[in-house]
Structure 1
């Protein structure tokens, strides 16, 4: 099975410009993401960037990168652009966030394995059990509700379900909540289709792109992880990441 990992890496991040090139204890963030992804069972790992400096940097440490259009509205669109430039026919494409330097190879493999069946899913993503009230009520950590087959029913920045019979402080003790981890895998034909969809009402309300796909009738299979990741969006996140790296060494 041919599984390709594509890492969208945009230079002009609003809160942390030049984010992929931020130094994290001797390695740039994008290099750390690439090295992690290369430890998985992916057949190929490619960085999709809109910036010549990032392109040259990735190629400089031995990684593979392609230059995409600068005006893509989302990382998903950038992934499609890069995939089409590669000129290969993959069984699945994994969209790996370029600001997740602590992504674990097993998390990538968990999604790839979902496609190693005669009838693979249309899309797949990761979920993680919520373990604290801080996680549960944070609007920055989207939650997800699943059906009995492990497919996503809905994503929200609000805790779902609402437990009418309990106070919010009791919710974690009476229901198993799941958090969404933004790692995606797609069949190539589905990737082409979803990048042609217009923004949907639910997506605009919650500011969650995956709701566009659900509203259009696509089915999103999930795999579960218990491993934590640290996304980098702000200078404060960089400091947290440096502390984490120091603890790991």
Structure 2
């Protein structure tokens, strides 16, 4: 089974433009993410996929592999689908460019899903981390996920899900970490399918898979990490890195 990692990287992020080129202890965030992904030694190859010449030059200067997008894309999945279309691979892992704290343990859990999926019923797998602070649960910048009894995703939202009508019912709340492992066929399907209203409303791309009946296996981890969506996240990342 040939497994690669793709790191989609846009320069003009809506909430924090240029965040991937911000300094994180002497290196840009995107280089830290690339280095951390390579360091796991889990992949046959690691690529950064971008439409930015600045990011391209930065990654190449750091010794990395870059694929330039030929088209403009609405999501990271679309960008990766274009990049892998002609590659001979089985599984592609989407590592968000703003996740410099990516680590081996979580990635191994996600990839392990496919090694036991002998009937190839799982289209993609991703990671969730339990949250306990209401400040995080109610934060619209943090994507939440709810799952069934077999840890297949039921829905993703920026709102608190489930809604705590009964606060003593024992609900657990999970943050969705932006790491996906796709079967190549599922990723190519995604790029061909039009966006529906749920994805457009929430601005969460993996909802498209659910809307079209794809199966997403969620894997629980206790490794929190820090995704850099805001300047405040960057300051927190700098403190943790040191």
TM-score by length of 1: 0.89
Give the equivalent residue in structure 2 for 1:64. 65
How far did 1:177 drift?
2.0
Alignment deviations for residues 132-178 of structure 1 (CA, whole Å, 9 cap, x no partner): 12122222212211112210011122222234333xxx57xx22222
Alignment deviations for residues 27-61 of structure 1 (CA, whole Å, 9 cap, x no partner): 11111101111122122110001122221221211
How far did 1:196 drift?
1.3
Kept in 2: contact 1:37–1:108 (CA 8 A): no
Give the equivalent residue in structure 2 for 1:223. 219
Kept in 2: contact 1:122–1:218 (CA 8 A): yes
CA distance in 2, matches of 1:81, 1:157: 27
- Gap regions ≥5 residues in structure 2: none
CA distance in 2, matches of 1:155, 1:234: 21
Alignment deviations for residues 170-228 of structure 1 (CA, whole Å, 9 cap, x no partner): 57xx2222221121111111100011111112112322221121111111111111111
Q: Could you say what secondary structure the match of 2:140 adopts? A: coil
- Higher mean Cα deviation, 192-201 or 227-236? 227-236
How far did 1:126 drift?
0.7
- Gap regions ≥5 residues in structure 1: none
2:221 corresponds to 1:202: no
Kept in 2: contact 1:42–1:109 (CA 8 A): no
CA distance in 2, matches of 1:160, 1:22: 32
RMSD of aligned Cα (Å): 1.7
How many pairs does the alignment contain?
A: 239
Give the equivalent residue in structure 2 for 1:31. 31
